[in-house]
Structure 1
Amino acid sequence: MGEHAPAEAQPRVFHGQVALVTGASSGIGAATARTLAARGAVVAVNYHRGETMAKEVVESIETAGGRALALQADVTDRDQVKDLVERAQTELGPVEILVTNATGLYGFDVKVAPFIGTSVEYTEWIVQRQLRAVLNPIDLILPGMIDRGHGSIVAVGAALSRTPAPGFLPLSMAKASVEAAVKVLAQEAGPYGVRVNGVGPGLIITRVAEGLPEQVLRANAQRASVRRNGLPQDVAEVIAFLAADPAGYLTGSYLLIDGGTALV
């Protein structure tokens, strides 16, 4: 099962609910968009630069009998997110499921280096981009969910929020902010029928990870209790579970999806 493996024979639990997945042109976002669509959701596939790939995701969903729409926006830009939400809701209907998968980094060179020698400004920049990527869509979609008394938000962070590593201070802080937001928002939105959960993927084999040295991939697979590296579909399945109404008593959770790596 590779990055683009189809989600087949899945229960159609979403019954036409509209889902918006940010950063959905490839990797975890693309797998999530396909999985939600396979389970009956109508999906807005957000992308920043990957128009061709986003349209391929939409085409794969439509070929499988689903409905999807590719929508461009930089989710760190509030005005663009406002336009994104308006287009999604005009074309597809009120957004009932939001998956904030985009990091806001968009392929920028993320340094892996000790804090000493790394500017505070750089760390602030990484955290700020992540916060905007998560909070801009939530800020513009959550009020509508509250008004309707129903909705589900799943924020994608990373296992780095729980299992930090040397050289990853900016990313660890950024991902920890996602986990904190999930817990607070779950408390604030819960009384109005809206659930907020999060996932913290470990090393997942996406296009970015495929560029890592082979010895790094092998070592991570050996550290994992399941003795393999994660795939985008592994994360998409958990996101789909959290987003669905059968998980209606689950909110404020932040699930590590790392194959048991954090256990050792």
Structure 2
Amino acid sequence: MPTPGTALVTGASRGLGAAIAVRLAADGWAVAVNYRHGRDGALDVVERIRDAGGTAEAFGADVVDEDAVPALLEEVAATLGPVTAVVANATGPHPEIAVEDLTWRDHLDQLEFFVKSPTLLVRAALPGMRAAGGGRVVLIGSDLADRAPAGMSAYVAAKSAQVGLTKTWAKELGPHGITVNLVQPGWIPVERHAGIDTSAYETEVPLGRMGRPEDVAATVAHLVSEAGGFITGQRISVNGGHVL
């Protein structure tokens, strides 16, 4: 597999996705910075990458849309080259909903981001990965799948489903030289958490600090690298030991 090649990072206009995109570009990947609504943010990420000497382009697409995802992969391939690394990071709202108020639509809202979107992305990327002799898939999950807080059953169910996807796809795609792994961050403060008091959470973290987006990005960077080529089917928590 040609590494680095072209990496697609979904939901990369801010937060964890932006940090992952910047790190992969620094490692030599040509990065497709995907966004749905945050075009200005995506362009800012691209500018940061280019200012640092990297290669990146912004691509707007709804990654839960069955027609938009194949078109996205085709556009990325035509602009930067075939995608050989997919980082499925895009997310949406995940409200707290008591079980007595929970609907099937609430479940579907989460499953579309965390099961449907990765499925569409991997399916669309597979021809290019197979042609390249291999590839990398990284799903961005959450350690809430293990912590299972009350009121978050739809979110936890969808994030837990990613564990099954990771294991099954690792077995199925391994013979093609494609690795599949799941990164489960803890609470990593990003832009939307500005002003929130993190002190109570921080006291529960054995390493004694909050995680940073760069911590997640470093883990993803290793998994998509040549050095990470013998790691597959794994879920890796990036949370300072908060869940052990």
**TM-score category of the 2 structures, normalised to the smaller one:** over 0.9
Supply the distance in 2 between the matched residues of 1:16 and 1:112 (Cα, whole angstroms): 39
Paired AA for residue 248 in structure 1: G
Paired AA for residue 17 in structure 2: G
Preserved CA contact (<8 Å) 1:17 1:96: yes
State the match for 2:212 in structure 1: 231
Paired AA for residue 80 in structure 2: L
Preserved CA contact (<8 Å) 2:7 2:85: yes
Tell me the secondary structure at the aligned position of residue 97 of structure 2.
Answer: coil
Preserved CA contact (<8 Å) 1:199 1:239: yes
Tell me the secondary structure at the aligned position of residue 147 of structure 2.
Answer: coil
The farther-off stretch of 130-139 and 219-228 is 130-139
> Does residue 1:72 correspond to 2:60, yes or no?
yes
Structure 1: where are the runs of 5+ without partners? 1-13
State the match for 1:243 in structure 2: 224
Q: Deviations over 1:78-132 (max 9, x none)?
A: 21111111110001111111111112x2xx4x32132122223322332233222
TM-fit CA distance, 1:15: 5.6
> Does residue 1:174 correspond to 2:158, yes or no?
yes
Q: Percent identity?
A: 36
Q: Deviations over 1:119-150 (max 9, x none)?
A: 23322332233222221111100232123321
Preserved CA contact (<8 Å) 2:140 2:182: yes
What is the TM-score when the length of structure 2 is the normalising length? 0.95
Supply the distance in 1 between the matched residues of 2:44 and 2:113 (Cα, whole angstroms): 27
TM-fit CA distance, 1:16: 4.7
2:121 maps to which of 132, 137, 147:
137
Tell me the secondary structure at the aligned position of residue 58 of structure 2.
Answer: strand
Preserved CA contact (<8 Å) 2:42 2:58: yes
State the match for 2:19 in structure 1: 31
Tell me the secondary structure at the aligned position of residue 180 of structure 2.
Answer: strand
State the match for 1:96 in structure 2: 84
Aligned residues: 243
RMSD of equivalent CA atoms: 1.5
Preserved CA contact (<8 Å) 1:102 1:134: no
What is the TM-score when the length of structure 1 is the normalising length? 0.88
Preserved CA contact (<8 Å) 2:137 2:224: yes
Supply the distance in 1 between the matched residues of 2:108 and 2:71 (Cα, whole angstroms): 27
Tell me the secondary structure at the aligned position of residue 162 of structure 1.
Answer: helix
Tell me the secondary structure at the aligned position of residue 96 of structure 2.
Answer: coil
State the match for 1:86 in structure 2: 74
Preserved CA contact (<8 Å) 1:130 1:174: yes
Preserved CA contact (<8 Å) 2:135 2:178: yes
The 1:15–1:150 alpha-carbon spacing in structure 2 relative to 1, beyond 3 Å, is: closer
